[in-house]
């Protein structure tokens, strides 16, 4: 597919400087792009490539000051990074619209309801009373258990497993190998030292616009629902335990584990390898630094914490600075002790 500068500018509400008929068929990084490709510049560190790239079209910020003549056609926008993301999204949508039909072999229960413009890849299993809405794309080797609902234009990448009774909203993207609705980790200690499994009879609800990375696991609730609210973005290799709630537009990086019944607020940012104890509440806008261990609720909105156990980010930096000075402080204490001893000896004390 080819697009002209004029067409691209219309998609991202940009202004063309140069040849409006200049056409591109693919994308390239600004430092590597060649003729017939589109690139973008958002990071000032890459400005030098703006003047020597071979890209045919470049998306740049309106505020970008040009220091040399540029051969490429420019499309100016308020935010080049966001505009490029919008363009890639539209490009993906066009590609996905062309992907429809049901490959073979698949299993689709007689009671399942399949919408229009759907793609179902080979070796997929779709159970009883499943609802697959219009525009859904299900890639090969996926599993949808009984009574699962998948909303419009959602994408399930290869090998996604969604257990029975779970609900997935519209415009959701779930990447390869992720498991939705596996049993929560619930066991009741017995008097003889054994552990009795607590049946997990709830489900998982994933609201609209959520993205979940590869090989993540989201456990079903013991009772009620594990809830991922609209707009949340979850990275690869996460463990979300039973009855957890993730707030709107919260972002969680890879290898984070959230224990059961913890409630994460809206617009929370959690770094990689964070561990969060169960039954906590994390306030809206909280930022948790990578590798932190959170053992207490964070009640103040827009807090920033770090460390294990996690505490106030600014205070943690001061503590780190103080700890780096300990060798010098120790030396000064020894010197003061020596001076004090000499003074006491002179005073015959």
Q: Which residues are catalytic?
A: 242
335 DSSP 8-state letter: H
Copy the structure tokens of residue 177.
């190998």
CA–CA separation, 287 vs 269, rounded Å?
5
CA–CA separation, 267 vs 76, rounded Å?
30
The CA distances from residue 258 to 53, 104, 272, in Å, are: 45, 38, 12
Q: 3-state class of 143 per DSSP? A: strand
Rounded to 5 degrees, what are φ and ψ at 331? -65, -40
Task: Note whether 158 and 121 are within 8 A (CB).
Answer: yes
51 DSSP 8-state letter: T
Copy the structure tokens of residue 10.
């219309």
CA–CA separation, 216 vs 256, rounded Å?
10
Strands 311-312, 304-306: pairing is antiparallel
Rounded to 5 degrees, what are φ and ψ at 41? -130, 115
Characterize 39-75 residue by residue with b for buried, 16 or more Cβ atoms within 10 angstroms of its Cβ, and e for exposed: bbbbeeeeeebbeebbbbbbbbbeebeeeeebebbbb
CA–CA separation, 107 vs 7, rounded Å?
42
Sign for the CA dihedral angle at 79, 80, 84, 85 comes to negative
Copy the structure tokens of residue 227.
């809830």
């Amino acid at each position: 597919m080819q697009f002209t500068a004029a067409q691209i500018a219309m998609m991202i509400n940009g202004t063309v400087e140069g040849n409006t008929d200049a056409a591109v068929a693919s994308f390239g990084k600004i430092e590597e792009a060649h003729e017939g490709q589109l690139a973008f510049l958002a990071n000032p560190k890459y400005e030098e490539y703006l003047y020597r790239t071979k890209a045919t079209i470049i998306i740049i910020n309106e505020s970008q000051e040009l220091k040399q003549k540029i051969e490429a056609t420019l499309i100016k926008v308020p935010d080049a990074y966001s505009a490029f993301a919008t363009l890639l999204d539209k490009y993906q949508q066009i590609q996905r619209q062309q992907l429809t039909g049901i490959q073979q072999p698949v299993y689709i229960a007689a009671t399942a309801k399949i919408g229009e413009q759907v793609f179902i890849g080979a070796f997929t299993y779709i159970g009883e009373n499943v609802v697959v809405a219009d525009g859904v794309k299900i890639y090969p080797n996926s599993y949808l258990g009984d009574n699962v609902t998948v909303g419009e234009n959602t994408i399930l990448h290869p090998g996604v497993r969604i257990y029975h009774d779970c609900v997935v909203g519209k415009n959701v993207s779930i990447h390869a190998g992720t498991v939705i609705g596996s049993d929560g980790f619930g066991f009741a200690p017995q008097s003889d030292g054994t552990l009795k499994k607590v049946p997990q009879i709830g489900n998982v609800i994933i609201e609209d616009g959520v993205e979940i990375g590869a090989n993540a696991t989201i456990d079903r609730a013991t009772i009620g629902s594990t809830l991922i609210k609209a707009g949340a973005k979850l990275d690869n290799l996460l463990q979300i335990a039973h009855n957890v709630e993730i707030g709107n537009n919260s972002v969680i990086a890879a290898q984070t584990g959230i224990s059961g019944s913890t409630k994460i607020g809206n617009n929370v940012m959690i770094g990689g390898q964070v561990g969060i104890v169960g039954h906590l509440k994390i306030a809206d806008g909280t930022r948790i630094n990578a590798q932190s261990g959170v053992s207490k609720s964070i009640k103040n909105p827009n807090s920033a914490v770090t460390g294990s156990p996690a505490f106030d980010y600014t205070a943690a930096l001061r503590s780190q600075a103080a700890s780096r000075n300990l060798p010098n402080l120790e030396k000064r204490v020894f010197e003061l002790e020596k001076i004090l001893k000499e003074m006491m000896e002179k005073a015959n004390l």
